[in-house]
Structure 1
Amino acid sequence: MDSKPRVLVLGLDPYRVPGPWDPEPVATGIQAGMADFAAHGVGAETCLVGLDGSDDIEAVVTAALAAHPWECVVIGGGIRRADEDSGLFETVINLVHRHAPAAAIAFNQTPADTYHAAARRLTPPRDA
């Protein structure tokens, strides 16, 4: 297998999402999800952005998308549900469409099942 990453996981940095909540379970889920990629021999990287105003989200996501030719981009649930008006999700989808047009797009259910979401879209299919 090519040693270059094939999957980019776009999500929210749980430590930079405002509110009174415990980010640890999400962070642990992200780590578990990424470990599944390694266990299955699939290269993957994360691009986690904050909602605390510390990121230029478009610039950060664009840079990640431009870093490699991705076979699949997984868009995490936090991004899909971050804005009540769906603005962040629309922005990210359009950035993927523009900067990684050949990549399949996948959606996970939880941070821990991210590998399985990508595996549905990888060619040739990986055992899920």
Structure 2
Amino acid sequence: MLSKIKHKRHIAKTLTWRVVGTLDTIVLSWIISGDPTIGMQIGLTESITKMVLYYLHERVWVKIYIANSRKRHLIKTVTWRVIGTLDTVLLSWFFTGNPYLGLQIGAAEVVTKMLLYYLHERLWYKINFGLDKRIRARKWKRT
């Protein structure tokens, strides 16, 4: 039962983060490339690649215990950003045909996405969706 609960929570976190992340990618790619079509291509392709990568990242992190929630969220933010930035750079390079634009878009996202991801993690930490009562009780004792 517990694993089903965790899967449901991770899927919900994946979907909410992907909406935030995709909008950020579309806007940044559009601004940097000057082409709204490029922004949409990168953002929509990323919506698929990043959902898979994010879900796998969540499954790894469910096995890692770090008592301090802020430290945990900070480390998760950094590890996810490395994975996410590499994905963005490669997709941006592919769609623009320009590795320099790929690096520019990836570099811009490092700043915006880390802030957005940290806020997303903090919000989900306060939401009990998908957690059983034992986990909720432990979580609130650690905060």
Higher fraction of strand? 1
- Whether TM-score is above 0.5 comes out as no
Normalised by the length of structure 1, the TM-score is 0.29
The structure with more radius of gyration: 2
Higher fraction of helix? 2
